[in-house]
Amino acid sequence: MLSSPPLPPNAIRWLAALNIHNRAELQAVGAVRAYLLLKAAGHSATERLLFALEAAVRGEHWSALDDADRTALRLAAANHAPVRPLPPQAEQQAFMAEALALAAEAASHGEVPVGAVVVHHNKIIGRGYNRPVSSHDPSAHAEMVALREAATALGNYRLHGCQLYVTLEPCVMCAGAILHSRLDHVLYGAAEPRTGAAGSVLNLFAERRLNHHTAVDGNIESAAATALLTSFFAQRR
């Protein structure tokens, strides 16, 4: 379990709310990401806490960090991709289940099984599944269809306050549209090692020269998303 020292008691409680209860879980998240998640959650996370988190990862007191360690941590925090706290697990599962059902619908039409939903204030306002073949439209990826429907529902292409659940890591085209929409958070299922633009091939969401930064998290119900894709391509072979 995490202890004080090196962490202050409040930080231990804040981390527990993020399902980080011990050193192994903190190591898996990383000191910098944990620090940024605490800041995103509205906690008064100072640089000293960043150093304490790194000390907890290493299993030592924060005073053991030297100037080079502190400089490296400051730089890593400044250059880190945007983060947002994950929604409750039940919420993640419910919305990804809707996206998975849409992916299955795509497969039934002979399309690569990818589905997506846009959520605003805990309500789905946009749905989409892959349909470039049937619609003769190279832009008709699941994310694009869902974004269009959500923008129509809100009467605004800017989707502030929205989350996108998609069963497969977005490609460059979809990542660009997501960033342009100012969407808050992308939660995807399976990684896409060939075309993924959320970290697998490149990470557009971490590119600070772009005009907006959307947080992204993967591996949400990834086994189910992968199973749909594997089954689809096995049938095609």
Tokens 């800017």 belong to: 158
Q: Are 126 and 117 in contact (CB under 8 A)?
A: yes
> How far is it, in rounded angstroms, from Cα 168 to Cα 129?
11
What's the whole-model pTM score?
0.88
Q: Which of 143, 169, 192, 221 is catalytic?
A: 143
Sorted by sequence, the CB contacts under 8 Å of residue 125 that are 6+ apart come out as 118, 119, 149, 150, 153, 154, 162
> What angle is formed at CA 207 by the lines to CA 14 and CA 121, rounded to 5 degrees?
50
Per residue of the chain (237 residues), give pLDDT as tens: 898 888 999 999 999 999 999 999 999 999 999 999 999 999 989 999 999 999 999 998 888 999 999 999 999 999 888 999 999 999 999 999 999 999 999 999 999 999 999 999 999 999 999 999 999 999 999 999 999 999 999 999 999 999 999 999 999 999 999 999 999 999 999 999 999 999 999 999 988 888 778 999 999 999 999 999 999 999 887
Q: Which residues are annotated as a binding site?
A: 141, 171, 174
Torsion, Cα of 170, 173, 175, 177 (10° steps): -130
Q: How far apart are the first and last CA of the chain?
A: 49
Q: Would residue 143 show up in a list of annotated catalytic residues for this protein?
A: yes
> Which parts are annotated binding residues for Zn(2+)?
141, 171, 174
